[in-house]
């Protein structure tokens, strides 16, 4: 039990979806009903962005913090359940995807212990990722979550969030049957579009990003929201260089990703 949380610990979690991968249940008070009876069909991955797992667990169980997630994956691979899957955990904040703005109601949230960018963004340990894969698979199967709806916090909140970060092994998850991924196009120095560009090519880019799911208005101007969304796309799908500029590699990767999207 995290110091000062006041939460009890149960050996048996309330959900059986993840099977034996969950080691314990530490109930968080921070949850509510899913609005309009919404069934979760999106899986959202975060890093904790805190120095220690203990600090992260304490915050996720602190009523004053008003944040939570369904699961917390520790560095050693242990998995803690905080909120039952049929409840609305409070993990996404102000966010949107494919026109939906209440991401908490349509998603399952998983926090992954990592100090994040402020803590130097260390690599995710293999045993942690192996446990995450073991946790995600039954959740995806149970709720019927489509590959393209396995996302990072930065995808649904570009500019506000950067997690789980450019070092997160999305390729590794895809190889395990989780999420949508394609091999990124090779990086070159060719710039297709850049901030302050204006015209139909910019609007076509904005339309393509919005078609995939990113929350972006087609203004026809390569404005700051567009730069932030391009950076979020790069962080997930072309992480070797994250700068918010539409170079040829980012453009080709976006086109290939849309073309390969299931369905």
Cβ 132 vs Cβ 139: under 8 Å: no
What is the model's pLDDT at position 20?
78
List the pLDDT tens digit at each of the 263 positions of the chain. Answer: 333 334 444 445 555 566 678 999 999 999 999 998 899 999 999 999 999 999 999 999 999 999 999 999 999 999 999 999 999 999 999 999 999 999 999 999 999 999 999 999 999 999 999 999 999 999 999 999 999 999 999 999 998 999 999 999 999 999 999 999 999 999 988 999 999 999 999 999 999 999 999 999 999 999 999 999 999 999 999 999 999 999 999 999 999 999 999 87
What is the model's pLDDT at position 2?
35
What is the model's pLDDT at position 17?
66
Is the torsion defined by CA of 183, 188, 192, 195 positive or negative? positive
- Is 111 in the active site? yes
What is the model's pLDDT at position 4?
34
Cβ 36 vs Cβ 77: under 8 Å: no
- Exactly one of 16, 20, 85, 111 is catalytic; name it: 111
Q: 214-217 long-range contacts, Cβ below 8 Å, gap at least 24?
A: 214/97, 214/155, 214/158, 215/95, 215/96, 215/97, 215/156, 215/158
If residue 45 lies in a helix (H) or strand (E), which one and from where to where?
strand 42-47
Gap between the Cα atoms of 89 and 32, Å rounded? 7
**CA-CA distances (angstroms) from residue 19 to 23, 24, 95, 136, 151?**
10, 12, 30, 11, 22
């Amino acid at each position: 039990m995290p110091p000062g949380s006041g939460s009890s610990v149960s050996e048996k979690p309330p959900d059986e979806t993840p099977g034996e991968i969950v080691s314990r249940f530490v109930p968080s008070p921070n949850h509510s009903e899913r609005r309009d009876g919404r069934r979760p069909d999106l899986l959202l991955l975060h890093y904790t962005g805190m120095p220690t797992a203990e600090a992260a667990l304490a915050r996720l169980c602190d009523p004053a913090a008003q944040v939570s997630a369904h699961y917390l994956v520790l560095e050693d691979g242990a998995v803690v359940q905080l909120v039952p899957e049929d409840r609305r955990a409070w993990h996404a904040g102000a966010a949107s995807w494919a026109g939906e703005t209440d991401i908490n109601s349509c998603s399952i949230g998983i926090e992954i212990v990592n100090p994040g960018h402020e803590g130097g963004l260390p690599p995710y340990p293999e045993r942690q990722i192996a446990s995450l894969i073991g946790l995600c698979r039954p959740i995806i199967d149970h709720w019927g979550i489509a590959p393209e709806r396995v996302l990072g916090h930065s995808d649904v909140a570009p500019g506000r969030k950067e997690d789980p970060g450019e070092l997160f092994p999305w390729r590794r998850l895809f190889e395990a049957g989780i999420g949508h991924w394609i091999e990124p196009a090779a990086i070159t120095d060719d710039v297709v579009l850049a901030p302050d560009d204006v015209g139909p090519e910019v609007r076509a880019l904005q339309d393509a990003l919005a078609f995939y799911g990113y929350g972006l208005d087609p203004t026809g101007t390569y404005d700051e929201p567009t730069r932030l969304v391009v950076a979020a796309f790069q962080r997930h799908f072309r992480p070797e260089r994250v700068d918010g500029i539409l170079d040829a590699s980012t453009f080709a990767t976006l086109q290939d990703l849309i073309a390969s999207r299931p369905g």
